[in-house]
Amino acid sequence: MADPERDFGMAYDEQGYVHILYSTFFDVDPEVDHTTQGYLDRILDTLVDAVEEQLDIVEWRLAPDPKGEPSHLLSYF
C-alpha cells in the first residue's frame, strides 16, 4: 500500500503511472496555495510530466477519412 507521506500525495494506477484524479498532490491546499498562480506554479511541472508519461504509451496514427472522401480541411490546399 502506498504511503501518502512518502509519496507526497501521489496515487498510482495498476500500470504504475501517476493517477492524476486520485492524487491529493493536485488538490488545492489553501494553506499553501494562496493564489491561482501559486497553485499552478506548484503543480504544473508534475502535471505535465504525468500527462507526457501517459501519452508515451499511446500510438498516434494519421488515418484517412473513413468514408474515403478528402477532409474539408485538405480541400483548401
Residue 69 has what DSSP assignment?
P
Question: What's the rounded Cα separation, in Å, for the pair 22 and 26?
Answer: 9
Q: Is 12 helix (H, G, I), strand (E, B) or coil?
A: strand
Quick one: pLDDT band at residue 77, thresholds 50, 70, 90? very low
pLDDT one-digit tens code per residue, 3-30: 555 578 899 989 888 999 999 999 999 9
Q: One-letter amino acid identity for 31?
A: E
Looking up cell 511541472 gives 45
Nearest by Cα to 18 from 59, 56, 47, 58:
47
Summary mean pLDDT of the chain: 80
Q: What is the pLDDT of residue 59?
A: 78
The CA distance from 18 to 52, in Å, is: 11
